A and B are shown apart, each in its own frame.
Chain A
Amino acid sequence: MLSLKHLQDTKLSSLALLDTAYIIVLLPLMLILKIPMLLFSFMVLLLLFFKKTPADKYLILFVFLMGVLALYLSLYGLFSFRGLSRLKLFLELLVYVLIIVVSMQRLTREINFYLLLSPMLFLALSLFFFHSILMLSYVIVEIFFLLWLLLAQRMDGDMIESFRAGMVMFMYSLPWVVVLFIFFPRISFDHADYGFKGENIQRMGHDGTMFLDSKALLVPSDRIVMEVGFDKEIPSSDKLYFRGSMLYVDKKDHWEPLPSYIKRENRTDDPIEGETVDYKVTLYPTQKHWIYLLDMPVRAVNDSEMDRDLISTVEKPIKSPLHYAARSALSPTLHDNLDQVTLDASTHFDPTRNPRTYQEAQKIKKRFEDPEKRASALVKFFQKQSLTYSLKPKALDINNTADSFLFDQRLGYCVHFASSFVTMARMSGIPSRIVTGYRADKANSLKNYLPVKERDAHAWAELYLDGHWVRFETTSTASSIDVESAQLLGTNTREKNKTFMESANLYLMYVKYQVETWILYYSHIRQLQLIQYAKDNPRFVLLFVLSLLALVLITFSITVYFRRPRCTHKILCIIEPLVKKLKKEGYIREKNETMHQYFLRYMKDHPDNSALKEVDRYYEAISYGGDTSAAALKQLKRVVKKSVSP
């Protein structure tokens, strides 16, 4: 409010108001401007700053030419519009043209219709470029500012009065906005690529191929791949396996899923047992078909298909954030009557490769008849090899990847562990396969909110034992982790308490997620859900009505606050506390009473109130005697304070 007090005496000219509006709306757009256009804008700013007189037509022509040049340079090489997929380019072009036109108009130093309208156009255009909660907040602020400036222009630049009027208008609209937001019939667009749909930066995701050569580079990035909101408590970390793709085929330098032409039998039984957990996922664009579900998903989510291995895919690559609700049973095993195709695929290995691994596998195969014992022998063998977890392994021998990893390099991460383990398991006669996906860490969660980051990408093995596919966390067989990787993974910090910044960041993400879930992605489905929920829970309805009433009350009080008689008179402001005190004591100033008479009336009943007498004296001297010096005002403030204190 301090700055508002300064504003009180400020009256801005219409041009200044307009410039403010432009600064507000152009600020976010500056982020998308290309360098030539930025330079052009800067040039116009300089012109406006140094040339105080209206520009003549030659200057305008010059600015126009420069603008066209900047436009050409900015969009050079991009002039190939193909359909609406290039909508953004069109919009960018529109922004540039608008900037040129506005610059030309503004240099004439006249206010016209175009200049008044353009801030709104910029505001609308900026909506197409930014898709984040931050921008939503900024737009709300922008709208308020534009409203304020519009009112200020109407009110001859009286900033404080127009602020109050704008605030009142804003406040009045608030309950309606909330009610309309919740109940207004919604139209859901399936694939609207613009608007506030969240960030659209592409995530890596899994592409169904797992490389073992130099392409295999794990980026411990903090970019969020998906955000998961659990209906109840988050399960422990050892259960947070998100199933992505299923890899069967060893192609020397990489692993692949089964080719799509291979037809496998459908499941006939319900493979899921155990307690279930419900959760909602926001999956960010991966440009891939896979969607990620907790092991083991109970059923396919909407618009997706789930195959025999409980791997879910959608028809089109995911290009905008995808939201789905899912249910999973937290089981590390999956019941399956192995069909011939799957059996063949999960036992196949190339006997010409990895001779050393094959030798060891044969030893185990001979020693243990029972597949389960074989499997634990495999784990023991891996543990004995003193393998080191490292994010920067040396290159493997592509022809003998398992040999190279297990006996020579002994350095690697989940990909190396899982692929070698599966290779060796197959060699020892156990059907096995690789699952890729994400393994999240509960330590990074807040309440029921779990962000899954790119660094959580993971691969593990599934071995077919006793009619079930059993998950094996192959990476845990590593006997050490190299220092660098530990740092990169943040293992050290994870063991200790999270730093303040980490917690704060997590908390911000949580808030953002909640806002996005309930505001940005509030769809007709959620609307129906909400109405259904309200039908089942009368208490919720009551709570809702009460909070709405509270909102109305808050709105009302804020409105009253902003519409209260304004204390404009410097001296009246100072004695306001005293007048309030007298009012409290039942002395209300009559309409035809002067302040002096009012004080006298009070003093008649309280003759010993000497402080009030002093106030009266100073008040008159300042108010009528014209002694408005700072010292006098200070003195008045002092005696008022004295008179108010009990």
Chain B
Amino acid sequence: MNYTIASEFTVLIDAIESHLVGKKETIALSLATFFAGGHLLLEDIPGVGKTTLAKHLSQVLGLDFGRIQFTSDMLPSDILGVNYYNQKEGAFIFKKGPIFTSFLLADEINRSMPKTQSALLQAMEEGSISIDGTLHALPMPFFVIGTQNPHEEAGTFPLPTSQLDRFMCSFGIGYPDRDSEREILKGERGHSSTLSDSLLTPQKIEGYMKQASEVTLSETLLDFLQEIIAYTRESGLFEYGLSTRGALSLTAMAKSWAMLQGRTYATADDLQAVTSVVCSHRLQFKEGPTTAKRIHHEIFTHVRSDI
């Protein structure tokens, strides 16, 4: 992937990278997802740094961090909160659940029952929850990193595609490369115990989000984008094509990725860079395994960008 992150964002990435060695691109994509206003699904085996990424990301962004470990006996109220009767005051009082945080790590989301899952996913979509008819707004910004273990199947409730659609991006972290791992093994870098400094203010975050939404999409790029969307729907390779929400996610990610590189317009390269992470959990090949790499290859060898 060809990209050059603008200096104001390299600072953020480097800060996190000192704890998650050799994963600059993953970090950058996570940041892009955050600035695009979406949520992130990390799909990987335990122990590659999912939690580390989430924790330090929240630190650097200066957001309060909440974490829910999903289990099979969890109920929606364990996430959202409950109305309880306060005898002292003689009234029902709402006790906020752990979801009331700006940065939520929803660990092993597929371990809970569909009912509980959907409670979370609805909150992610709407930015608010309703309990007993009362609407409770979630803090802004509200960013969720969900994780799931792709290989473990016993006692899990896999998320249906419609639910997965709520996540803007999905990717794995993967093993570190040889050199990075050596550094970690030597104990020179990658101590997750020390915390990162907060580098952004809420105002700045808001500014960046606005900036990302204002990135220009040229007509030629929209043509290209629509061809990509049409290909996922019409090629017959996939179970079903990209949804409109998926398409919107694609544009939002491309814009945010363009902003990370300090540009005011998105290019075909940006689209190429984000397509697989936006699509890998949304598209399912009819035959053979669905991997980000394969999706990227299939789409971009068939949809030609003339520009």
Contacts and interface: CB of A to CB of B under 8 A. Distances in A.
Given A597-B269, A625-B265, A591 B301 contact: yes
A8 to B, nearest CB: 17
B2 A624 contact: no
Interface in B285-307: 297, 300-301, 304-307
A621 B264 CA distance: 9
A572 B307 contact: yes
Contact of B218 (A592, A595, A600, A624): A624
A596 B272 CA distance: 11
A621 B218 CA distance: 10
B27 interface: no
A152 to B, nearest CB: 25
Given A591-B301, A592-B301, A595-B307, A625 B268 contact: no
Contacts of B301: 591-592
A91 B218 CA distance: 60
A626 B220 CA distance: 9
A597 B263 CA distance: 17
B83 interface: no
Contacts of B263: 625
B118 interface: no
A625 B264 contact: yes
Contacts of A621: 265
A203 to B, nearest CB: 64
B205 to A, nearest CB: 25
A224 interface: no
Contacts of A625: 216, 218, 263-265
B220 A624 contact: yes
B269 A594 contact: yes
A537 interface: no
Interface in A607-646: 620-621, 623-626
A75 interface: no
Interface string B251-268: 000000000000111111
A569 interface: yes
A571 B2 contact: no
A626 B307 contact: no
Nearest to B219: A626
Contacts of B272: 592, 594, 597
A596 to B, nearest CB: 5
B221 interface: yes
B305 A594 contact: yes
A623 B216 contact: no
B257 to A, nearest CB: 13
Nearest to A594: B268
A621 B220 CA distance: 12
A615 to B, nearest CB: 14
B265 A569 contact: no
A623 B268 CA distance: 10
B306 A596 contact: no
A596 B304 contact: no
A591 B301 CA distance: 6
B2 A623 contact: no
B216 A571 contact: no
A620 B264 CA distance: 11
Contacts of B216: 624-626
A626 B263 CA distance: 12
Interface in A252-311: none
Nearest to B258: A624
B3 to A, nearest CB: 10
Nearest to B303: A592
A591 B268 CA distance: 13
A583 to B, nearest CB: 15
B307 A594 contact: yes
Contact of A623 (B264, B297, B300, B307): B307
Contacts of B266: 624
Contacts of B218: 623-626
Interface in B108-130: none
Contact of B268 (A569, A571, A596): A596
A533 B154 CA distance: 93
Interface in A576-614: 591-592, 594-597, 600
Nearest to B270: A624
Nearest to A590: B301
29 contacts: A569-B220, A569-B307, A591-B301, A592-B300, A592-B301, A592-B304, A594-B267, A594-B269, A594-B307, A595-B268, A595-B305, A596-B2, A596-B268, A596-B269, A597-B269, A600-B2, A620-B265, A621-B265, A623-B218, A623-B220, A623-B221, A623-B267, A623-B307, A624-B220, A624-B265, A624-B266, A624-B267, A625-B264, A626-B216
Smallest CB-CB A-B distances: 9 pairs: A592-B300, A594-B268, A625-B265, A624-B265, A624-B267, A624-B218, A592-B301, A596-B269, A594-B269
Interface of B: 2, 216, 218, 220-221, 263-269, 272, 297, 300-301, 304-307
Interface of A: 569, 571-572, 591-592, 594-597, 600, 620-621, 623-626
